[in-house]
Structure 1
Amino acid sequence: MNRSISKAVVIGSGIMGSGIAAQLANVGISCTLLDIVPAELTEAEKAKGLSLSDTAVRNRLASTAITGLVKRKPAPLYDPEFAARIRPGNLEDDLHLIEDADWVIEVVVENLAVKQELLAKIEQHWKPGVLVSTNTSGISIEAMSAGRSLEFRRHFMGTHFFNPPRYMKLLEIIPGENTDPAHVARLREVAERALGKTVVIAKDTPNFIANRIGTYGLLVTLREMLQQGYTVEEVDAVTGPAMGRPKSATFRTLDLVGLDTFLHVADNVRENVQDAAEIEVFTVPEPLQKMVKQGWLGEKSGQGFYRKLKEKGESKILSLNLQSFDYGPQVKPSSGSLQAAKAAKGSRAKLKALLSGGDRYSELAWNVLKHVLLYSAAKLGEIADSIRDIDEAMKWGFNWEMGPFETWDAIGLVPSVRKMEAEGLPIPKWVSEWIAAGGTSFYRREEGKLFHVMSGSFKAVEQPPQIISLRDLKEQKRVLRSNTGASLIDLGDGVACLEFHSPNNAIGEDILSMITQSQEEIRKRDYAGLVIANQGRNFCVGANLMLLLMEAEDEEWDEVDDIISLFQNTMYQLKQFEKPVIAAPHRMTLGGGVEACLPADQVIATAETYYGLVEVGVGLIPAGGGCKELTLRASQQAHLPDADLQPYINRLFETIGTAKVSNSGHDAKRLGYLRPSDRVVVNPDYTIHEAKQAVLRLAASDYEPTKASKLRVVGSEGKAILQLGAISMKESGYISDHDLLIAKKLAHVLAGGDVPAGSLVSEQYMLDLEREAFLSLCGEPKTRQRMKHMLTKGKPLRN
């Protein structure tokens, strides 16, 4: 019952099936991908003299899908080599492999009859203990398993992955009437721990949780638009970040999903509910149906609510006028409420500013929001038993900042319900009873614990021990030290966590000061060690670029030198700290963020860690110890005195010189940013716990601090080789004059300067080279232009 899942069979090699297989492979689950046997040979197969009986032909669909995983964008695999963990097969020759599997996932076409037929074939080879699930976005689990044995149905459930499976964190598990709760618990544990998913338990109802509410919200928005005459761009301006929703808002989302797909999802609800009002809401308005008939399906057909054109080499995006059905230039909406929402900090404040603006955009936001909130409340008990599951489904399935009930709390439960009542809207009975009993919110926090309403009273939200919330710890008065940029928090068991919380977690003097203070505090309290982690949107996007630019513009070179020296010295001291240090980066970890991790004894990154030294993008080089530390590692890799160090430095020069950023934690290892001893954790909610355990393991093993090392460098000869490569790129037109200047400075540092090849130099010597190169580049007008462009435009400037 409690055995782990190490082997899986995925049936169906389309976009979803192959994507699910890729995620299983990502986390080390051996996977077989099956599809039907082709009925005809391709021209390439004929040219090779193959026949329909050849294995290569019979497995063609699955094999092609596996090959395609390596090329697909965004990348479904953490590392292209993981494709080897997926074995191709076909339904006629390989269905018996189910006998040895731990989990079988059916991912074929969304057609009840097809799925029923396939499940019957699966049961012929199935053995008790093997979990079977269907990936469906809305077909009834009970209807699908009709005719199957009771024991099979006890092992059968829905698992609705969201696309793309690697990146979308939500997994809806839908038990059937006969599904054994123990099997649900087993699959949930694997999904959360191994696959890194946020799991919600949904009822077996049309479209389950996220698609049910999300589709309803999109249809309500479309009707409000048509009735009140809003434009496509007006609706998207209101229903995006201003309401705590993604930038894709309403109509960009529909274009991305595909209007035909959306129509299918909406029809699934309309055809399977009995309530007349609900049937009316899920009847897709005529303009959208007309678009589908005309083939205007969104991005996949080249046009939907938006259409991209190229004129004179430049891209231009037009929007659709639903009255005339013509495309025209976008007219950016502007109003007091939109401006107030944009200026407000945080999703709660943005939404309140938008709703209180008193203009037609405030009215649109309220008229959409009130219906979504009431619908979500009305469906509690029907689509899910917990408001928490509904909120989590919308946050992780539709990328909302707040779920419906969190949103209701944000705008004020009681006053918003009173306003709804005044407008004649029916309030779900349980909401009215909750307010009558004195309830003023659906959630409350108390001493670092979260509670939510369930069955008329507050119930604590239980979290597994692997999830550590820094917010909860701070509310429990566990902060040891704090300043404007960072806090030192007691994680328990003698381990402290240094949390960055400056704007964008950019590293400035406040964070550097807290790094030093953290070491002092740990010494004083005789703690076991330190974790460097935070739970912001990104770990750290670099140093405080604005401060550096201001000092460079004022030509305060001593100040710039002091800033870089402080950064270098702080990281060097952290590396030599006598207690274990574990860094736990997540998502965007760039420039100075990487340099804050390099001194750690071990890095425990999330799978979705995008890690890279990107300073050349703003006309600089890494100077917080990044060049020094990676050169030291290269020297240690080529550890024999007569080993050729140059290839290691060449790769390092290319990685830093082209500002390469990993597309996963595993990719960071491939690029050389992470060491073989560093680890990757799939579930980002578990990283701080894992980092804490790593500290305790090191502390219990007679930990010895890192000592200063000598580096063997390639010197002037190696520098010439590096610079020759950069000059060749300049002559070929790949890089600019300023790019060449930066490359030469970088080559000088990575080579160890103008010393003989094979020289041993100190770490401080390498830090001095870094700082000198950085200062000289700060003095370049084109570098300052790049810095300014990044700060104002958010992207690199090529000059």
Structure 2
Amino acid sequence: MSGDIKKVCVIGAGTMGAGIAAQVANAGVPVLLLDIVRDPENRNAVAEGAVAKMLKTDPAPFMSKAAAKLVETGNIEDDLGKVAECDWVVEAIIERLDIKQDLYAKLEAVRKDGTAVSSNTSTIPLAQLTDGRSDAFKRDFLITHFFNPPRYMRLIEIVSGPQSDKATVAKVTEFVDRKLGKTPVDAEDSPGFIANRIGTFWLQVATNSAVDMGVTVEEADAIAGKPMGVPKTGIFGLIDLVGIDLMPYLQKSLTGTLPKDDPYQAIARSEPLIEKMIAEGYTGRKGKGGFYRLNREGGQKVKEAIDLKTGEYAPAAKPPRIPGAAAKGDLGALIELKGKIGEYAWAILGPTLSYSASIVPEATATILGVDDAMKLGYNWKAGPFEMIDKIGPAKLRSKLAESGLPVPELLEKVGEGTFYRVENGKRQYFGLDGQYHDVERADGVLLLEDIKLNSEPLLKNASAALWDVGDGIACLEFTGKMNALDTDVMKLIGDAIPLVAEKYKGLVVYNEGSNFSAGANLGLAIFAVNIAAWSEIEKLIKGGQDAYKALKYAPFPVIGAPSGLALGGGCEVLLNSDAVQAHAESYIGLVECGVGLIPGWGGCGEMIERWRDMPRQPQGPMPAVAKAFEIISTATVAKSAAEAKQYGFLRASDGVTMNRDRLLSDAKAKALELADGYTPPEPPEFRLPGPAGMAALQLAIDGFRARGLATEYDEVVSGRLGKVLTGGDTDPTEVMTEEELLELERTEFMQLVRDPRTQARIEHMLETGKPLRN
């Protein structure tokens, strides 16, 4: 059904509208971006300027520069007639009802019947938006509330009216799901919908409590951040990020539209300090600073925080230490802590969880909508009802009553139970009818977390597991911290291959962590270095090479299915897979040079092979080597799956999945597709340029060094990388086998890992998360 939408029009080229247009283009769908005429000399200047700005923005709204070419720019006065070519029109203009209604009247005259029209509003009820429009217009109208930035935020709230055509709503819903990678959440036509209504309440009560209780911004963010499963920005860091000037606007919108007895009305208040900050341009990161700022006086960069009482800035204090289980997400332990930490945690969680439970079904039909909205729209690890289960509904009821806070009917109804449970291998949620219902997944969504509820792993150790995901396909999962790779991973690969070969059709390498894999476990590596366990390190490198080649030449297809970071050894898994089905938001690269190393698990040969086979690549031994050297020596990371194809980390034929929840299903389908008549690839043979090629690379290295783009040790690392890529002492007329190249790769790797300068780089990366430029 999503195929029914072949072209989209976005009206409004501000931050949101332009970002929505970019995401449509990222999906490979043509998009028309229109805005008002501001410059009579260049009537399309507003839309053109938005596209130009996005091409320079970081993080980038476009997944590749090629996507930008799918955006056609225009203006509302001259080009509104082109709406007739479009299947969906998204309105993302100023939040003024009169201006929106005027635009809708014009759209009604030019759009074709059946073209969906939606508003990106977050504040105006749908019934008001369509007032005065025809029944035909109302049938095709809905609200599609994206979250900023549209490329990266997965939530979209879908609001339909009583006259909205179900088929039209379904068509848009499927398009934003499959093509734009969003998770649609059905919301009711109520003020603020779901996420912003709860989110604004949460930020307001947290700000009020910090001021009233004398909690500093550093303390507030430490307490209300990681321990609560909230991003590390916490409260005040988040307000700085979204813009302090947005808060009074959201407050005015909600107080003007919510019933007078809504709990938000009682806590909505203005703070003189915040008003002063906005007036003086301290609007957060987009302004001169906010609750935090960087003081650059004297050439320094000192992070400062504002005093909520005096309004004065001072160097940000070290946040308080959260003790025990409370630091690790035990909300029950957190709110029971004595003193400021526990009291402030309760001052936020008590009212917020009570409020969240009170808006079902007014804002959304089930508790699933509330939890999904907050996890996807605000990046909370757990939704409000999942948080309630962590505390215990009965315990929360008791504590709310003791504190004089409202105990919502839904919280009473769940009784001694919980809002979620697992029954017969299925996750269930508590409904308004007092019964439990299965959590249903959309067609084409397959999650490992669901499979785990009803099965045991085929194989498992401390760092990896093997699962049966149905239809004769097995799934290899990395399970360590950041899904780092170590000897346990390599052992499980070795054990998995004969099992899969005997009983399965194919293998998918996939996990549901935030990152596919950040690469080799550097902590273990530096431990081995410190005790001079060189043989153990070489054993790990050889074991990794053997394991990855075993995957490459297995008698069944292997599909890599990355999402998030796939760096170093994580990238090499993909390079050794038969095919890749990548989540669009995959960040792939061979980054070993940044820590003074080179790829050690076959990445060098695989990149040469990739570039040798690239279309329109010049022939001969040197062009592919030079390209691989350029990419690996600079630790280049592709910032999307589309960009990964440009660098050769992915093949042109590799698949891209926009919606993260559909990745495993798509990868499984690709494995089944390749399984029929599968034969492993033939080992490659290399003709490498040898010393003459190394001399050419050395000239490039010397040039970088002379221009200050490479350090003294960068030159050493690049030299060893160049030696591997050019084949060492090989003769260009001779064939070099894959095994010989792996041996050379291993030798040069071991030379580098023994160097104290590499060891310093690894230790610095582990301590700071940043590369050392030595």
TM-score band by shorter chain is over 0.9
Give matches, 1:99-498, under 5 Å: 99-276=84-261, 277-335=263-321, 338-340=322-324, 344=328, 347=329, 349=330, 351-435=331-415, 439-455=416-432, 456-498=434-476
2:563 pairs with one of 586, 589, 606: 586
Q: Distance in 1 between matches of 2:717 and 2:232?
A: 35
Do 1:717 and 1:756's aligned partners in 2 also have CA atoms closer than 8 Å?
Answer: no
Do 1:549 and 1:784's aligned partners in 2 also have CA atoms closer than 8 Å?
Answer: yes
Report SS of the residue matched to 2:245.
Answer: helix
TM-score, normalising length: structure 2? 0.97
Other-structure match for 2:19: 19
Q: Distance in 2 between matches of 1:69 and 1:176?
A: 33
Q: Which amino acid aligns with 2:406?
A: P
Does residue 772 of the first structure (1) align with residue 752 of the second (2)?
no
Q: Which amino acid aligns with 1:684?
A: R
2:488 pairs with one of 510, 522, 525: 510
Q: Distance in 1 between matches of 2:685 and 2:678?
A: 21
Give how far 1:725 is off: 0.7
Q: Distance in 1 between matches of 2:2 and 2:708?
A: 60
Other-structure match for 1:597: 574
User: What per-residue deviation string (whole Å, max 9, x for no partner) do you get for residues 442-498 of structure 1?
Assistant: 111224311111121111111024222212222212521211211111111111111
Give how far 1:632 is off: 2.3
Give how far 1:278 is off: 3.2
Q: Distance in 2 between matches of 1:691 and 1:463?
A: 17
1:688 pairs with one of 660, 664, 669: 664
Do 1:635 and 1:713's aligned partners in 2 also have CA atoms closer than 8 Å?
Answer: no
Give matches, 1:517-532, under 5 Å: 517-525=495-503, 527-532=504-509
Do 2:332 and 2:391's aligned partners in 1 also have CA atoms closer than 8 Å?
Answer: yes
Give how far 1:385 is off: 1.1
Q: Distance in 2 between matches of 1:249 and 1:144?
A: 34
User: What per-residue deviation string (whole Å, max 9, x for no partner) do you get for residues 534-556 of structure 1?
Assistant: 11111111112122222222222
Give how far 1:227 is off: 1.5
Distance 1:342 1:424, change over 3 A: closer
Distance 1:724 1:239, change over 3 A: same
User: What per-residue deviation string (whole Å, max 9, x for no partner) do you get for residues 656-711 of structure 1?
Assistant: 001011110111111111111212111111111111111111112x1111121211
Give how far 1:728 is off: 1.7
Give how far 1:150 is off: 1.0
Distance 1:635 1:712, change over 3 A: farther
Does residue 788 of the first structure (1) align with residue 756 of the second (2)?
no
Distance 1:784 1:61, change over 3 A: same
Q: Distance in 2 between matches of 1:401 and 1:191?
A: 23
User: What per-residue deviation string (whole Å, max 9, x for no partner) do you get for residues 122-164 of structure 1?
Assistant: 1111222100001112112111111000111111011111111
Please say which of residues 589-598 and 175-184 is displaced more in the overlay: 175-184
Q: Distance in 1 between matches of 2:71 and 2:235?
A: 36
Q: Which amino acid aligns with 2:407?
A: I
Aligned residues: 772
1:759 pairs with one of 723, 734, 741: 734
Other-structure match for 1:43: none
Report SS of the residue matched to 1:789.
Answer: helix
Distance 1:293 1:68, change over 3 A: closer
Other-structure match for 1:675: 651
Do 1:444 and 1:452's aligned partners in 2 also have CA atoms closer than 8 Å?
Answer: yes
Distance 1:359 1:31, change over 3 A: same
Give how far 1:203 is off: 1.4
Other-structure match for 2:679: 704
Do 2:610 and 2:648's aligned partners in 1 also have CA atoms closer than 8 Å?
Answer: no
Please say which of residues 200-209 and 23-32 is displaced more in the overlay: 200-209
Q: Which amino acid aligns with 1:61?
A: V
Do 1:12 and 1:106's aligned partners in 2 also have CA atoms closer than 8 Å?
Answer: yes
User: What per-residue deviation string (whole Å, max 9, x for no partner) do you get for residues 156-200 of structure 1?
Assistant: 011111111000111011112321222222211111111110111
Report SS of the residue matched to 1:92.
Answer: helix
Do 1:635 and 1:712's aligned partners in 2 also have CA atoms closer than 8 Å?
Answer: no
Q: Distance in 2 between matches of 1:603 and 1:714?
A: 30
Give matches, 1:19-98, under 5 Å: 19-40=19-40, 52=41, 57-98=42-83
Distance 1:2 1:722, change over 3 A: closer
Do 1:308 and 1:318's aligned partners in 2 also have CA atoms closer than 8 Å?
Answer: yes
Report SS of the residue matched to 1:159.
Answer: strand
User: What per-residue deviation string (whole Å, max 9, x for no partner) do you get for residues 300-350 of structure 1?
Assistant: 221221222113322112111122121122222324xx1335753xx3x3x
Q: Distance in 2 between matches of 1:310 and 1:758?
A: 58
Q: Which amino acid aligns with 2:758?
A: T
Q: Distance in 2 between matches of 1:127 and 1:190?
A: 19
Do 1:609 and 1:665's aligned partners in 2 also have CA atoms closer than 8 Å?
Answer: yes
Q: Which amino acid aligns with 2:506?
A: G
Q: Distance in 1 between matches of 2:491 and 2:371?
A: 39
Q: Distance in 1 between matches of 2:193 and 2:14?
A: 22
1:740 pairs with one of 705, 715, 720: 715
Q: Which amino acid aligns with 2:688?
A: V
Q: Distance in 2 between matches of 1:232 and 1:166?
A: 30
Does residue 536 of the first structure (1) align with residue 513 of the second (2)?
yes
Please say which of residues 642-651 and 736-745 is displaced more in the overlay: 642-651
Other-structure match for 1:560: 537
Distance 1:638 1:120, change over 3 A: closer
Gaps of 5+ in 2: none
Distance 1:91 1:458, change over 3 A: same
Query: What RMSD, in angstroms, separates the aligned Cα atoms of the two structures?
Result: 1.7
Give how far 1:283 is off: 3.2
Do 1:219 and 1:284's aligned partners in 2 also have CA atoms closer than 8 Å?
Answer: no
Give how far 1:638 is off: 8.3
Please say which of residues 249-258 and 627-636 is displaced more in the overlay: 627-636
Q: Distance in 2 between matches of 1:112 and 1:183?
A: 23
Distance 1:111 1:645, change over 3 A: farther
Give how far 1:357 is off: 2.5
User: What per-residue deviation string (whole Å, max 9, x for no partner) do you get for residues 748-787 of structure 1?
Assistant: 0011112223532100011011100100001100100111
Gaps of 5+ in 1: 41-51
